[in-house]
A and B are shown apart, each in its own frame.
Chain A
Amino acid sequence: MQGGDQRKYGNGIIVSVITCTEIKQGIAIETGKTSPQYFNACSIIELHEDDFKALGINKNTNVRVTSAAGSVILKAVVTTQSLYPGLAHIPMGPWANMVVPAYTYSTGEPCFCGFDCLIEPAPEEKVEKAVKLMHDKCGLKYVGDPHYD
């Protein structure tokens, strides 16, 4: 792949994001959606090393990911399934879907692959648990449950 696709913007970069399935995410789904395994497998964003340089951050730093649809804090990691600069991957799941545009081009299929996101360093911010994100978005009060832990 020739040339990077990533564009600088403020203290962040704009990249194209895809959300795909991944073996760790598959195992964690079957372990349980409220398990720590699921949290670790899905609340990440995989970036190319050049994009880490452009952001001026180390790997495993939290970043704020913002699309036209919303915003979410994720941990930025390096992947074994390498990307080209300007392409990022978030494993399918509730964290990815915080930023996936719901627009379907009249096909029923939302924009799961290939939407723009602004990535900004957010080392002080916390990655939220999925159940908390879900309750906040649906306007429900989050109370604990024996089945959530």
Chain B
Amino acid sequence: MPEVIKNVACPYCGACCDDLEVTVEDGKILEVKNACIIGTEIYHHASREGRVGSPRMRQPDGTYKDITYDEAIDYTARMLIKAKKPLIYGFGSTNCEGQAAAGRVAEEAGAVLDNCASICHGSSFLAIFDTGYPSCTLGEVKNRADVVIYWGSNPAHAHPRHMSRYGVFPRGFFTNKGHRGRKVICVDPRYTDTARCADYFLQVKQGHDYDLFDAFRMVMHGYADDVPEIVAGVPKEKILEVCDIIKKGRYVHIFFGMGLCHSDGRNHNIDIAINLVRDINEVTKCTIMAMRGHYNIAGPGVVWSWQFGFPYCIDLSKGSHAHMNPGETSSVDLANRGEVDAFINIGTDAGAHFPIRAFEKLGSHIPMVTIDPSVNMAATVSDVHIPVAIVGVETGGICYRMDNVPIQYRAVVPPYNGILTDEELFNRILNRMLELKEQGIECDGKWEYAKAIPSLIPVKLEPEA
């Protein structure tokens, strides 16, 4: 008999849609309702043939051999003990219970503990440390916002149901006209599919958002006359028009994404955005929110802030107190300088999403373990690949939405082939580490570090004439 499970939360993007209806029969997923096309694909992927059903270890000839969980856990525990400075990176796609368990393992191992924020909204964290975070929950946007700005973000592709659940189309308590009562502004160098839904589109020159924010702030401070005719490719009259819309708004909200975090200026793009929000609050109500990527990438920030006091790039190698300095202790910087000697890739894919010049230093010279439900690029070059249950499909748990609202995830089918959850796996790794240490196994300090990139060249390309 097919059974319909309601109020299921989706494990893809930071919108954390928790209104899915999944039909299951005999432990197989038949149908998914309400999810976007990406979310639907996650549930069907879980039931597809050919998933990895047990841990695998690379053999000298390059093939993989299935091993038991005990062997995989023993390998990982020994690797962590033996390493002088292991790196544990990922956590965008697991629940808070798994992240807390990993925190305990990292503390025991004296590891560097980092999450995907360091290549995503890490810039936003840096700006928040500097200037604060005047934010709100997504319900506030839905119920009150009449001016919504998407700056350097493209929810039509990255957070597919964001505009229909929170930002543009829903009819809220004080916004009962839906999208007809809202002014939507999109700022992007591309005319994206989000820009198509917007009332105003500012085509900013790539990497010049800081200039545009500066112009906005000048207008807000009453120096509109001094703004040049064109700023960052945007004509002055358009800037004045949009500033007028903002000043007349009852509740203005800014969503920002990778357009600011990844471009020139990094954290300074965000901190000037936050300062603009403060300026706008002189005339009307305004809030800002980072468009967090994975469904639980806000989770490690919350869990580890509570465990260690820092959200990401946490260096636990001192053993007694944690240290954080993203330019020094972030995953990519450590890889660039060859400062790690073992690597665990968990709930992410550093292989696909790190610049290859950084990743090849991790993938080629040092032992590496991938913990992921599926085969990903990191797994294809790992020494050991340990499959785990998919959060939101095969196991439940707490996940934090982009506005740091915790959502209770639930399982709809049992784990494939009886595989472990992240939390169970990390708890068993910790127990094994304690056992081995009791047997007198310790770091012998003999392992090679990864190789550093010989010359790091910044962005500009100047080919030889």
Q: Using CB atoms and an 8 Å cutoff, list the residues of chain A in contact with chain B.
A: 1-2, 5, 9, 14, 16, 18, 20-23, 26-27, 29-34, 66-70, 79-84, 87, 89, 92-94, 97-98, 100-118, 130-131, 133-135, 137-143, 145-148
Min Cβ gap A128→B in Å is 12
User: Are A131 and B123 in touch, CB under 8 angstroms?
Assistant: no
Question: Of A69, A98, A109, which is within 8 A of B119 by CB?
Answer: A109
Min Cβ gap B202→A in Å is 11
User: Are A87 and B190 in touch, CB under 8 angstroms?
Assistant: yes
Min Cβ gap B37→A in Å is 6
Verify if B180 is at the interface (C-beta below 8 Å from A).
Answer: no
* Chain A hits for B222, CB < 8 A: none
Q: A23-B37, A27-B41, A145-B64 are in contact. Are A118 and B461 (CB under 8 A)?
A: yes
* Chain A hits for B354, CB < 8 A: 97, 102, 110
Report the nearest A residue to B362, measured CB to CB: A138
User: Are B463 and A9 in touch, CB under 8 angstroms?
Assistant: yes
Q: A116-B459, A116-B460 are in contact. Are A104 and B330 (CB under 8 A)?
A: yes
Verify if B306 is at the interface (C-beta below 8 Å from A).
Answer: no
User: Are A26 and B381 in touch, CB under 8 angstroms?
Assistant: no
Given the complex of chains A and B, what is the CA–CA distance between A113 and B458 in angstroms? Answer: 12
Question: Of B45, B63, B205, which is within 8 A of A1 by CB?
Answer: B205
Q: A32-B45, A69-B355 are in contact. Are A113 and B326 (CB under 8 A)?
A: no
Verify if B283 is at the interface (C-beta below 8 Å from A).
Answer: no
* Chain A hits for B123, CB < 8 A: 107, 109
Interface size class of B (residues with CB under 8 A): 35 or more
User: Are A101 and B457 in touch, CB under 8 angstroms?
Assistant: yes
Q: A26-B38, A140-B381 are in contact. Are A110 and B119 (CB under 8 A)?
A: yes
Q: A68-B458, A97-B355, A135-B381 are in contact. Are A21 and B62 (CB under 8 A)?
A: no
User: Are B41 and A106 in touch, CB under 8 angstroms?
Assistant: no
Given the complex of chains A and B, what is the CA–CA distance between A81 and B381 in angstroms? Answer: 34
Given the complex of chains A and B, what is the CA–CA distance between A145 and B63 in angstroms? Answer: 7
Report the nearest A residue to B458, measured CB to CB: A103
Question: Of A108, A113, A137, A145, which is within 8 A of B333 by CB?
Answer: A108
In chain B, residues 204-221, which have Cβ atoms closer than 8 Å to a Cβ of chain A? 205-207
- A-B residue pairs in contact (CB < 8 Å), sample of 12: A5-B205, A21-B258, A23-B156, A31-B41, A67-B461, A81-B192, A104-B330, A107-B122, A108-B122, A110-B354, A137-B363, A141-B62
Given the complex of chains A and B, what is the CA–CA distance between A21 and B327 in angstroms? Answer: 25
